[in-house]
């Protein structure tokens, strides 16, 4: 049974809602970088939009470990953390996934982003979960 299969519906819903998550990656100097991110859960993996020109992308090239924390908006003392690895980087030169996430989060972007040529989809496995 996978880590996702073990999650109760009350925690799994946090992955399915369009909430902001805080994504942690490890910098080359071994310190942690954490940033708020849009995401989408496909039932197995978590997907993020990003560019190849940013530090977080370089962090993942150095160390593919990732951790995403999501706070329950209905009960802020509850959270879900999923930990895993970068398992795939998919080129997104039209920025289509970025536009899709904008719509998912109620922020239509109105066309191709200016940095579309550098856009990628980061695909994160889910190896472990913790919750409260």
Alpha carbon distances (Å) from 16 to 12, 37, 85, 91, 112: 7, 14, 19, 23, 25
Looking at residue 53, what is its pLDDT?
97
**Residues β-bridged to residue 21:** 37
Homologous superfamily in CATH for domain 9-131? Electron Transport, Fmn-binding Protein; Chain A (2.30.110.10)
Worst-scoring range by mean pLDDT, 3-7, 64-68, 98-102? 3-7
Extents of the domains making up the chain = 9-131
Indicate the pTM of the whole model.
Answer: 0.94
Looking at residue 6, what is its pLDDT?
86
Reply yes or no on whether the pLDDT at 28 is more than 90: yes
DSSP reduced 3-state for 60: helix
**Residue 80 contacts residue 14 (beta carbons within 8 Å):** yes
Closest residue by Cα to residue 54 from 80, 75, 30, 27: 27
Reply yes or no on whether the pLDDT at 2 is more than 90: no
């Amino acid at each position: 049974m996978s880590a996702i299969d073990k999650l109760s519906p009350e925690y799994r819903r946090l992955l399915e809602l369009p909430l902001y998550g805080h994504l942690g990656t490890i910098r080359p100097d071994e310190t942690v970088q954490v940033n708020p991110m849009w995401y989408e859960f496909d039932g197995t993996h978590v997907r993020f939009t990003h560019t190849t020109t940013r530090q977080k992308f370089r962090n993942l090239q150095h160390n593919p470990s990732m951790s995403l924390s999501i706070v329950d908006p209905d009960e802020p003392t509850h959270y879900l953390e999923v930990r895993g690895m970068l398992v795939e980087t998919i080129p997104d030169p039209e920025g289509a996934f970025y536009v899709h996430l904008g719509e998912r989060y109620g922020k239509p972007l109105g066309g191709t982003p200016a940095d579309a040529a550098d856009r990628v989809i980061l695909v994160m496995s889910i190896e472990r979960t913790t919750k409260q």
